């Protein structure tokens, strides 16, 4: 088996490993990684300060035949012996790949090694910055390029007053011209961040526990608490230099178009490679190099196709994009000072061919413009940049996704083969899976391909759920029959009836089994319990925050014993009782209600649980009373009907024992208050929640959750989880924050009133049944023989409890191979 050694495990290195595994898995691969953790998404590094964990950023995956040695940097390459050495071992190779990336450039400023001075490159750097920022007030960033603006955003998220110092005459000088840099500067200064261009640091001193940086401007110095150098990167090519491999004049390992170095058995990819003398600092060209080398190792003849250096980012909330040529024979510019937008389009001398351009403040036209580079100018420029519709489409050969080199033709082919949404296109073509800037274009191409995704609830209502919600709210309609008569057609179905029932329950908070409402419910809501596989039901009483007294615990045990129910502790800190016959449900509820329990709504599209850790009362790490907060939230939102089920959790400290970030809304205690996360989901497609607010007091926290839930209930589609709803908002989390925190739409008072009405009118649904003889008549197996239990329901005993018949066979242990019994001695 051939030996392949890879030096470096960054984003490009990881893409290379995946490509090798796909093309030729016969290689035995060793990866030497300097960092203590496997590959992670360095493009999204700043998300670390916006609530993302190192695990969220991780790109690690198990690949056959690949051994990744973390924290073991390569120290030397012996090309004659074909061996790579580290401090602890030697690794022979048949082929060697340099994927060492780059290092942060720090100008030769005296004092750059002082405590409190950092670079912005790795997760360890970010952790050190975060630790230094705790309890401090001010931070300074050296560098006003892409990396510098990301670092400034990080310091702002840490709550620091932030100053940017940039040596160039304007911000992002490599991507923007002076006018574009000026518009960007206005945006950033409006956020309260200082910007000083044309300035360089000359000396850093420690003064009274802080730092002072002198500059090249007379009389200008900055007193600050920490300094972050984000002034660019340089290729990590020293190892190649030491072993005699050729490097470029400005650094980087020289390669040809096959990415082979001056040694034919050694390749270089990513930021360390200088392909025909050119280093590329973006991930997309690195991915292309990775594919080329993987193909070569599999016997192919691929060559580097060149690189599209286009980029689109949202820096400090400001859209910035640059594509194609920076300058050319003819340039057309558009400036809107009132709205803070700037656009420059570089054209051929006859103004018929688009060569490139830049956008600041509004990058919506970017996907179309980028894909049109080298071709006909799309439509009327004024209409395009002003947000109007433009006639004409892209040619099939136009590249839509530059990160993964996917053309329009490939995407249209996938659509014609059956891809009907963005998620399917991503999976099939990899378009949109890296930076994501081409996702809007994917949506346009779906429409161009004849794919129409209707938001109608069903054939009986052409409106979406959100539109029906508004209709019911405005008109005051209280029944399904009136709604469908006035705004729909036909008699309804099993799609629209439960959806309308949920809307009516959300707005009126009446009992779901009252009158016509009862006929609208699905099976679980109809019996206020979850139907199980053998026709019985489960009973889940609410246990707010997971806190329960011994007396109530005894009641649950006694009820389960008396009605011979299977019991299980759930993941949401409750006790589930299974196997209840429909005629026994009211009897069970009576016992539980008399003991102070109420419905846990495990059957409904409503709040399920608010999980909690033990918080400050018991845990030595707790910084807030998470149990009380969880109980308060669960009691406030119990019974709240919504488009989909809702789950929540409250953790008493950053150790996150309640797993709050996997919930629809999660709360994590801090020393200064609470952090609120929204849009999480631990279901079919797990998603971590996004940080919405930091360090807020309890009143602000509850008020914001009120508005989040009511805005979601008012606008989400049928059966849409909060995770998908947040992802689908035009403007994402920033838009959501603007609506429910800053009240940009002027609807917060309305949302507050809706929640106040819910809290004031809540009533337990179980109690509503057992106190109403008419509702009790529903709970029978046979309408014509109400006293006869269903004889088809059978049970058997498994592990000391009763299970549906047939469970014993399914519960038999499966033994794979010969059992091995290990002694506990010596462990």
Instruction: Specify the DSSP class assigned to residue 666.
Output: E
Q: Which of 117-126, 509-518, 520-529 has the highest mean pLDDT?
A: 117-126
Reference 527, options 784, 787, 781; nearest CA is 781
Q: What is the mean pLDDT of residues 64-72?
A: 92
Superfamily of domain 395-452: BFD-like [2Fe-2S]-binding domain (1.10.10.1100)
**Residue 652 predicted with pLDDT over 90:** yes
Beta strands in 293-353 (DSSP E): 311-315, 318-324, 330-336, 341-347
pLDDT, averaged across the chain: 86
CATH architecture of 308-392: 2-Layer Sandwich (3.30)
Q: What is the mean pLDDT of residues 758-764?
A: 93
Q: What is the CATH number of domain 117-231?
A: 3.50.50.60
**Residue 826 predicted with pLDDT over 50:** no
Reference 389, options 368, 406, 405, 374; nearest CA is 368
**Residue 495 predicted with pLDDT over 50:** yes
**Residue 124 predicted with pLDDT over 60:** yes
pLDDT at 782: 64
Reference 502, options 646, 633, 598; nearest CA is 646
**Residue 508 predicted with pLDDT over 80:** no
**Residue 509 predicted with pLDDT over 90:** no
Q: Which pTM does this prediction carry?
A: 0.54
Contact 560, 597 (CB under 8 A): no
Instruction: Specify the DSSP class assigned to residue 120.
Output: S
Q: Which residues contact 132 (CB under 8 A, 6 or more apart)?
A: 116, 118, 225, 226
**How would you label 688-724 residue by residue, b for 16+ Cβ within 10 Å and e otherwise?**
bbbbbbbebeeeebbbbbbbbbbbbbbbbbbebbbbb
pLDDT at 762: 92
Q: What is the mean pLDDT of residues 666-681?
A: 94
Reference 807, options 815, 825, 819, 795; nearest CA is 795
**Residue 34 predicted with pLDDT over 80:** yes
Distance between CA atoms of 247 and 413, rounded to whole angstroms? 42
Q: What is the mean pLDDT of residues 273-293?
A: 91
State the pLDDT confidence band at 389, using cuts at 50, 70 and 90: very low
Q: What is the largest CA-CA distance in the chain?
A: 97
Q: Tens of pLDDT along 429-486?
A: 888 776 566 776 787 788 788 776 557 777 788 888 888 998 988 888 888 889 999 9
Distance between CA atoms of 330 and 319, rounded to whole angstroms? 24
Q: 550 vs 306, which has greater pLDDT?
A: 550
Q: Which residues contact 667 (CB under 8 A, 6 or more apart)?
A: 626, 629, 633, 648, 649, 650, 651, 660, 674, 675, 676, 677, 701
- Specify the range with the lowest mean pLDDT, choosing from 452-466, 555-569, 617-631: 452-466
Distance between CA atoms of 528 and 593, rounded to whole angstroms? 14
pLDDT at 809: 55
Distance between CA atoms of 256 and 278, rounded to whole angstroms? 10
- Specify the range with the lowest mean pLDDT, choosing from 75-84, 386-395, 611-620, 738-747: 386-395
DSSP, residue by residue, 164-215: EEESSSSTTTTT--HHHHHHHHHHHHHTT-EEEES--EEEEEEETTEEEEEE
Determine how many CB atoms are found less than 10 A away from the CB of residue 106.
Answer: 17
Token look-up 């910007």 returns 195
State the pLDDT confidence band at 333, using cuts at 50, 70 and 90: confident
pLDDT at 523: 67
- Specify the range with the lowest mean pLDDT, choosing from 105-109, 482-486, 759-763, 801-805: 801-805
Distance between CA atoms of 66 and 814, rounded to whole angstroms? 30
Instruction: Specify the DSSP class assigned to residue 160.
Output: -
As a whole-number percent, the residues of the chain with pLDDT over 90 amount to: 50
Residue 347 phi, psi dihedral angles, 5° rounding: -120, 160
Q: Which residues contact 786 (CB under 8 A, 6 or more apart)?
A: 583, 777, 780
pLDDT at 814: 41
Q: What is the mean pLDDT of residues 48-53?
A: 73
**How would you label 772-809 residue by residue, b for 16+ Cβ within 10 Å and e otherwise?**
eeebeebbbbeeeeeeeeeeebebeebeebbbbeebee
Name the residue ranges covered by the structural domains of the chain: 3-104+235-297, 117-231, 308-392, 395-452, 465-521, 530-761
pLDDT at 391: 46
Instruction: Specify the DSSP class assigned to residue 50.
Output: G
pLDDT at 167: 93
| 619 in a labelled binding site | yes
**Residue 538 predicted with pLDDT over 70:** yes
Token look-up 């700037």 returns 342
* Strand, coil or helix: 18: helix
Contact 275, 255 (CB under 8 A): yes
Q: Give the angle subtended at the CA of 570 by the CAs of 569 and 572, to the nearest 5°.
A: 130
Token look-up 């640091």 returns 201
Token look-up 């469908």 returns 484
**Residue 95 predicted with pLDDT over 60:** yes
pLDDT at 816: 38
Instruction: Specify the DSSP class assigned to residue 398.
Output: S
Instruction: Specify the DSSP class assigned to residue 48.
Output: G
Distance between CA atoms of 754 and 713, rounded to whole angstroms? 11
| 657 in a labelled binding site | yes
**Residue 817 predicted with pLDDT over 50:** no
Q: What is the mean pLDDT of residues 20-37?
A: 92
Distance between CA atoms of 637 and 722, rounded to whole angstroms? 15
pLDDT at 813: 47
Q: 319 vs 169, which has greater pLDDT?
A: 169
The HSE-up count of residue 680 (CA atoms within 13 Å, CB side) is: 24
Question: What does the chain come to in residues?
Answer: 827
Token look-up 């984003």 returns 11
Q: Evaluate the CA torsion angle 96, 102, 106, 107 in order and state its sign.
A: positive
Reference 762, options 660, 609, 616, 639; nearest CA is 639
Q: From the CA atom positions of the chain, what is the Rg in Å?
A: 31
Q: Tens of pLDDT along 691-718?
A: 999 999 999 999 999 999 999 999 998 8
As a whole-number percent, the residues of the chain with pLDDT over 70 amount to: 90
As beta bridge partners, residue 665 has 648, 678
| The CATH fold of domain 530-761 | Sulfite Reductase Hemoprotein; domain 1 (3.30.413)
Contact 770, 586 (CB under 8 A): yes
Burial category of 825 from C-beta neighbours within 10 Å (exposed 0-12, middle 13-18, buried 19 and up): exposed
Q: Tens of pLDDT along 348-373?
A: 888 888 899 999 988 777 777 887 88
pLDDT at 819: 35
Determine how many CB atoms are found less than 10 A away from the CB of residue 283.
Answer: 20
First to last CA, the chain: 36
Kindly report the three-state secondary structure assignment for every residue of 726-745. HHHCCCHHHHHHHHHCCCCC
Q: Tens of pLDDT along 634-644?
A: 999 999 999 99
Residue 112: enclosing H or E segment and its boundaries? Answer: none
Q: Are strands 273-275 and 278-279 parallel, antiparallel or unpaired?
A: antiparallel
pLDDT at 619: 87
* Strand, coil or helix: 488: coil
Q: Are 117-231 and 308-392 in the same CATH fold?
A: no
Q: What is the mean pLDDT of residues 116-145?
A: 93
Q: 559 vs 377, which has greater pLDDT?
A: 559
Residue 698 phi, psi dihedral angles, 5° rounding: -65, -40
Contact 511, 763 (CB under 8 A): yes
pLDDT at 448: 80
* Strand, coil or helix: 711: helix
pLDDT at 146: 86
| 259 in a labelled binding site | no
Superfamily of domain 3-104+235-297: FAD/NAD(P)-binding domain (3.50.50.60)
pLDDT at 274: 95
Q: 788 vs 219, which has greater pLDDT?
A: 219
| 458 in a labelled binding site | no
Instruction: Specify the DSSP class assigned to residue 122.
Output: S
pLDDT at 497: 85
**Residue 825 predicted with pLDDT over 60:** no
**Residue 812 predicted with pLDDT over 60:** no
Q: What is the mean pLDDT of residues 131-139?
A: 92
Contact 662, 686 (CB under 8 A): yes
Kindly report the three-state secondary structure assignment for every residue of 51-105. CCCHHHHECCCCCCCEEEECCCCEEEEECCCCEEEECCCEEECCEEEECCCEEEC
Contact 645, 682 (CB under 8 A): no
**Residue 386 predicted with pLDDT over 80:** no
Q: Are strands 253-255 and 161-166 parallel, antiparallel or unpaired?
A: unpaired
Beta strands in 237-329 (DSSP E): 253-255, 266-268, 273-275, 278-279, 311-315, 318-324
**Residue 491 predicted with pLDDT over 90:** no
């Amino acid at each position: 088996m051939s030996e392949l050694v890879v030096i470096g495990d960054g984003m490009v290195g990881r893409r290379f490993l995946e490509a090798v595994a796909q093309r030729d898995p016969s290689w035995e691969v060793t990866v030497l990684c300097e960092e203590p953790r496997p590959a992670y998404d360095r493009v999204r590094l700043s998300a670390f300060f916006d609530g993302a964990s190192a695990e969220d950023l991780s790109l690690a995956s198990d690949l056959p035949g690949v051994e990744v040695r973390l924290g073991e940097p390569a120290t030397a390459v012996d090309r004659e012996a074909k061996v790579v050495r580290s401090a602890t071992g030697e690794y022979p190779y048949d082929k060697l790949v340099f994927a060492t990336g780059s290092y942060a450039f720090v100008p030769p400023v005296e004092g750059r090694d002082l405590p409190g001075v950092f670079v912005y490159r790795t997760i360890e750097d970010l952790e050190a910055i975060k630790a230094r920022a705790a309890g401090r007030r001010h931070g300074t960033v050296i560098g006003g390029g892409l990396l510098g603006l990301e670092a400034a955003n990080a310091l702002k998220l840490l709550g620091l007053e932030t100053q940017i110092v940039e040596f160039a005459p304007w911000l992002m000088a490599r991507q923007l011209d002076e006018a574009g840099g000026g518009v960007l500067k206005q945006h950033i200064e409006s956020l309260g961040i200082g910007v000083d261009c044309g300035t360089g640091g000359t000396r850093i001193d420690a003064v009274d526990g802080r730092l002072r940086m002198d500059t090249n401007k007379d009389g200008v110095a900055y007193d600050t608490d920490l300094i972050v150098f984000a002034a660019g990167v340089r290729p990590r090519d020293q190892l190649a230099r030491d072993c005699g491999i050729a490097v470029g004049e400005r650094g980087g390992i020289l390669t040809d178009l096959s990415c082979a170095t001056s040694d034919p058995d050694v390749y270089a990819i990513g930021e360390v490679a200088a392909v025909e003398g050119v280093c590329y600092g973006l991930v997309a060209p690195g991915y292309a190099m990775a594919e080329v080398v993987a193909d070569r190792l599999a016997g192919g003849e691929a060559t580097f196709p060149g690189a599209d250096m286009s980029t689109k980012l949202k820096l400090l909330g400001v859209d910035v994009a640059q594509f194609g040529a920076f300058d050319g024979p003819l340039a057309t510019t558009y400036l809107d000072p009132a709205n803070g937008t700037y656009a420059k389009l570089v054209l051929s001398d006859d103004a018929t061919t688009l060569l490139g351009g830049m956008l600041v403040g509004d990058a919506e036209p970017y996907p179309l413009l980028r894909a049109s580079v080298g071709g006909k100018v799309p439509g009327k420029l004024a209409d395009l940049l002003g947000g109007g519709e433009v006639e004409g489409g892209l040619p099939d050969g136009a590249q839509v996704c530059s990160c993964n080199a996917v053309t329009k033709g490939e995407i249209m082919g996938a659509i014609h083969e059956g891809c009907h949404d963005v998620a399917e296109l991503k999976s099939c073509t990899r378009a949109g899976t890296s930076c994501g800037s081409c996702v809007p274009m994917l949506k346009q191409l779906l429409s161009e391909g004849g794919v129409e995704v209707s938001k109608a609830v069903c054939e009986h209502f052409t409106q979406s759920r959100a539109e029906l919600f508004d209709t019911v709210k405005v008109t005051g309609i209280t029944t399904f029959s009136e709604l469908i008569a006035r705004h729909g057609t036909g008699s309804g179905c099993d799609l629209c009836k439960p959806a309308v029932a949920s809307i009516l329950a959300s707005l009126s908070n009446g009992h779901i089994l009252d009158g016509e409402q009862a006929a609208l419910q699905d099976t679980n809501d109809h019996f206020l319990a979850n139907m199980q596989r053998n026709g019985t039901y489960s009973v889940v009483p609410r246990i707010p925050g997971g806190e329960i007294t011994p007396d109530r615990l005894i009641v649950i045990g006694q009820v389960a014993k008396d009605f011979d129910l299977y019991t299980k502790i759930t993941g949401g800190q409750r006790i589930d009782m299974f196997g209840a016959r429909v005629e026994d449900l009211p009897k069970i509820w009576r016992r539980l209600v008399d003991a102070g329990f109420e419905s846990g709504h495990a059957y409904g599209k409503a709040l399920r649980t608010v999980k909690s850790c033990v918080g400050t009362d018991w845990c030595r790490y707790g910084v807030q009373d998470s149990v009380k907060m969880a109980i308060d939230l669960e009691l406030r939102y119990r019974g709240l009907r919504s488009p989909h089920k809702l789950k929540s959790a409250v953790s008493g400290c950053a150790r996150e024992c309640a797993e709050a970030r996997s919930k629809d809304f999660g709360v994590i205690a801090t020393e200064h208050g609470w952090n609120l996360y929204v849009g999480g989901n631990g279901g079919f497609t797990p998603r971590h929640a996004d940080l919405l607010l930091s360090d807020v007091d309890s009143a602000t926290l509850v008020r914001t959750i009120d508005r989040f839930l009511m805005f979601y209930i008012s606008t989400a589609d049928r059966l849409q989880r909060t995770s998908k709803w947040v992802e689908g908002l035009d403007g994402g989390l920033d838009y959501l924050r603007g609506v429910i925190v800053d009240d940009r739409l002027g609807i917060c008072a309305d949302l507050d009133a809706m929640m106040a009405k819910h809290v004031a009118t809540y009533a337990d649904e179980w109690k509503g049944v057992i106190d109403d003889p008419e509702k009790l008549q529903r709970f029978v197996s046979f309408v014509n023989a109400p006293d006869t239990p269903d004889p088809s329901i059978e049970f058997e005993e498994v592990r000391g409890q009763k299970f549906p018949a047939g469970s014993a066979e399914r519960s038999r242990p499966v033994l794979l191979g010969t059992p091995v019994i290990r002694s506990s001695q010596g462990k």
